[in-house]
Structure 1
């Protein structure tokens, strides 16, 4: 029995150290560390520790889901001024969907921080996608309560927004259509795409495409297919034209 107590103390200290390491790596610290711990506390852990006042992360997950939708929506609204409501909705859905949230959680090493019951641990709960996505949302909820909306945005500027800007979700974004609509609306000329380069072996090719407006280069993009390269070129063109008018 004494050994079990020592093991529990060691596990507790390990988790506390991991929470501190997480805060150090992110560059901010929780005023109420109980909120941080709650964000990583699964209901199975609470069920096995009924004598202690643990709270699971389900309420924080609920709040975090709403905060995430709001902050992502605000970023997209400002970042992509030519996108329609339908396109913005589609893009936001791709960013806040389970696979995306799981990738964010894995990048931050959230899996090792989760407090799980023994049964959930033994059945692979620490790698369960739905559980990891819930923990990411709960973390957002806890950060919002402890630090406010500005700190949530600062966190997303580290982890999520750069991926959006880099085209990680370009598979749901039709930049070519946006560019065409913008040019037609302004009546400013003719859009043309041209492949500048193909490189790499046949099974792993990379294409480089250029988009021009009446002969003037607007952007160059790369991709694993001509279509993807053209989409990235159109994205660069939209950014160029937006910067030109501001």
Structure 2
């Protein structure tokens, strides 16, 4: 059961969904709906247990990848799988998802803890992208695949136009190329289970990246792919600035 401060905003949040093109009467599970906007920092400040949106983020990440892959497959029938993969990487990248979240003013609707709120959490790429994925996870499970596909195509996939004429690579690929050029080595990643839920299921991973046996950066994510990509991004930016 949601606490009163959140439950009292259900109608307001339904109006927000209306602006995105999702009719209020499609929302069946109001508790799950509101949970998609609750960041873990908000629940950490409470004296009682309350579900945050990390599990929905996990689901939304998978749904997003599937829908983006489907759209690319349908709309680009004349380019190879390798290029489709690069487009997908660029579209689901944290920065792109954060831009999409800003386009729909999602930051204004995220429930954050006091500390995160003061530090500008409503405009952090990581929080915006994670919350967007959580919202997509909610739409998929409570409203259906048709509606989530519409939202993804309208607000995320639509950014494909700016990527058509640029070279897009994952940060892992970019880091590997740079490290091979500088050191004739390849980066080494170490993955650890960083956070588990009450049932012992891993809900967040941590990845460390090493170059020449030296620790360079760390990254976090709901799966190893995401945590390694974040670690690679930090390492790539560090090497570019210091080499």
Does 2:162 align with 1:168?
Answer: yes
Distance 1:171 1:15, change over 3 A: farther
Normalising by structure 1, we get a TM-score of 0.61
**From 70, 75, 85, the counterpart of 1:74:** 70
Does 2:18 align with 1:21?
Answer: no
Q: Runs of 5+ in structure 1 lacking a partner?
A: 1-7, 175-246
Deviation at 1:105, TM superposition (A): 0.5
Residue deviations 1:151-209, cap 9 Å, x none? 11122233233333xx12223469xxxxxxxxxxxxxxxxxxxxxxxxxxxxxxxxxxx
**From 144, 147, 153, the counterpart of 2:143:** 147
Does 2:42 align with 1:45?
Answer: yes
Q: Distance in 1 between matches of 2:155 and 2:38?
A: 22
Aligned residue-pair number: 163
Considering only aligned residues, what root-mean-square deviation do their CA atoms show, in Å? 2.2
Residue pairs, 1:117-196, within 5 angstroms = 117-164=113-160, 167-172=161-166
Deviation at 1:93, TM superposition (A): 0.5
Deviation at 1:149, TM superposition (A): 1.4
Deviation at 1:15, TM superposition (A): 4.0
Name whichever structure is richer in helix by fraction.
1
Q: Distance in 1 between matches of 2:103 and 2:12?
A: 15
Q: After the TM superposition, which parts of structure 1 deviate over 3 Å for at least 4 consecutive aligned residues?
A: 11-18, 171-174
Residue deviations 1:53-104, cap 9 Å, x none? 5211111111101100000000000100111111000000010001100011
**Which stretch of structure 1 is more off in the superposition, 24-33 or 115-124?**
24-33
Structure 1 partner of 2:32: 35
Normalising by structure 2, we get a TM-score of 0.62
Does 2:95 align with 1:99?
Answer: yes
**Which stretch of structure 1 is more off in the superposition, 11-20 or 85-94?**
11-20
SS in 1 for 2:162: coil
Structure 1 partner of 2:227: none
Deviation at 1:13, TM superposition (A): 7.5
Q: Distance in 2 between matches of 1:171 and 1:15?
A: 43
Deviation at 1:119, TM superposition (A): 1.2
Contact 2:10–2:30 (Cα < 8 Å) also in 1: no
Structure 2 partner of 1:222: none
Q: Runs of 5+ in structure 2 lacking a partner?
A: 169-243
